[in-house]
Amino acid sequence: MTAATNYLEARTLDFWLKANSQTTSAPATVYVGLHTADPGEDGSTSNEITGNGYTRQSASFGTVTTGTDDTVNVSTDADITFGPATGSWGTITHVSIHDASSGGNTLFFGALSASKTVGTSDSFKISSGNLTVELD
């Protein structure tokens, strides 16, 4: 996951170059959302799963590291499990990170390495370390 939304990009520039004129603060908890299509840079939640037992799940991250290619990244440090679904969620193609458990702002988004169809009674799990945010 390497794409930041326009919201996050604007807040980052404001924080570092305009003395935080928008009074940005870090969320106490971030939440992962599941999508059936790309949420895009505007951070749209129009294709986020709704209903059938779906809720965004909180996520925690480990130590920020710098790679040999000068990228900076951080990965989840615990499993994230959604469900079980009480009805079909469709085919999950993208994930997103938000600053609230519902509503709020989308911060990052990215495509799954492989789509996953979630039917009734299925769960969707992102294993610890398998959700990485990378900046270049």
Give every CB contact of residue 60 below 8 A, 6+ residues apart in sequence.
76, 77, 78
For the entire predicted model, the pTM comes to 0.92
State the DSSP H helix or E strand holding residue 17, giving kind and residue range, or none if neither: helix 6-17
> Between vectors from CA 51 to CA 85 and to CA 130, what angle results, nearest 5°?
55
CA 122 to CA 103: how far, in whole Å?
25
82, with CB counted inside 10 A (0-12, 13-18, 19+), is: buried
Give every CB contact of residue 126 below 8 A, 6+ residues apart in sequence.
32, 76, 79, 80, 81, 95
Lowest mean pLDDT among 5-9, 51-55, 78-82: 5-9
The helix/strand count (H/E) of the chain reads as 1, 10
Q: Contact at 8 Å (CB) between 111 and 59?
A: no
Confidence of residue 3 (pLDDT cuts 50, 70, 90): confident
CA dihedral sign, ordered 129, 131, 133, 136: positive
- Express each pLDDT in 48-77 by its tens digit: 999 999 999 999 999 999 988 888 999 999
Confidence of residue 22 (pLDDT cuts 50, 70, 90): confident
